[in-house]
Amino acid sequence: MSPGSSVSEALRAAMNASRRAQDKERTLVLGTILANLKNREIELRRPGTDEEVLEVLRKGIKTRRESAEQYAAANRPELADVERSQIRVLEEFLPPAVDPEEIRGAVRAAIAGGATEMGKVMGQVLPKFRGRADGKVINQIVREELQRG
């Protein structure tokens, strides 16, 4: 993604490139996400901001993760693999993930600041990393740090 271009423009450019390359799987997943984005823009009655586009991407990734887990549980590894490959395509458009140690530092600071319950720590830490880290990862780190203390 070149600097100055929006995430939605990058998605559209990637879909056009995958069409030219006749990469059907990549074209399908990008087309699906762009359709989801279009629906979101219709809801908003305006073009989505980069943050809103990233929200649509994360939701698509979350849905595919859940599907992959269900397929794996149903002993359908080939379908789970399809979902995982779609996740990899979508993750290309997300900003780099936050280092877990940075999250751990914020969690320790919240605990040192007097937050001793799960909900209070999450309430302080989650907004700092919204959109840059998976909530499950943050939740896990909070649990680990609260058990230590």
- Residues spanned by CATH 1.10.10 within the chain? 100-148
The class of domain 100-148 in CATH terms is mainly alpha
CATH topology of domain 7-91: Hypothetical Protein Yqey; Chain: A; domain1 (1.10.1510)
Whether residue 67 is predicted with pLDDT greater than 80 in this model: the reply is: yes
| pLDDT at residue 4 is higher than 60 | no
Report the phi/psi class of residue 42: left, alpha or beta, with left for phi > 0 and alpha for psi in -120 to 50: alpha
Contact assessment for residue 74 and residue 35, using Cβ atoms and an 8 Å cutoff = no
Give CATH 1.10.1510.10 domain extents, the chain.
7-91
**Res. 136 pLDDT band, cuts 50 70 90:** confident
- Residue 74: the pLDDT is 97
CB 37 within 8 A of CB 11: yes
pLDDT, one tens digit per residue, over 101-129 is 999 998 998 888 887 888 888 888 888 88
